[in-house]
Amino acid sequence: MSGYQTKQEQFKIAGLDDMTFRSLLDKHQYSDPSGESLRLGISSALWPLFGLLWPSGAELARLIARRPVNTDETILELGCGLGLASLVAHRLGADVTASDCHPLAGAFLLENVRLNALKVLKYRHGHWN
CATH number of the domain encompassing residue 117: 3.40.50.150
* pLDDT score, position 3: 80
pLDDT for residue 75 is more than 60: yes
74-78 and 6-11 strand pairing: unpaired
Residue 71's pLDDT band, with cuts at 50, 70 and 90, is: confident
**How much is the pLDDT for 129?**
66
Q: What is the pLDDT of residue 87?
A: 97
Q: What is the mean pLDDT of the chain?
A: 93
Residues 6+ away with beta carbon under 8 Å from 27: 48, 49, 52
Asked if residue 26 belongs to a domain, the reply is yes
For CA atoms 128, 37, 113, 17, the dihedral sign is negative
Residue-range definition of the domain harbouring residue 52: 6-125
Q: Is residue 1 part of a domain?
A: no
pLDDT of residue 24: 96
If one counts the domains in the chain, the total is 1
Residue 65 lies in a domain: yes
17: left (phi over 0), alpha (psi -120 to 50) or beta: beta
Does any domain span residue 70? yes
1 pLDDT exceeds 70? no
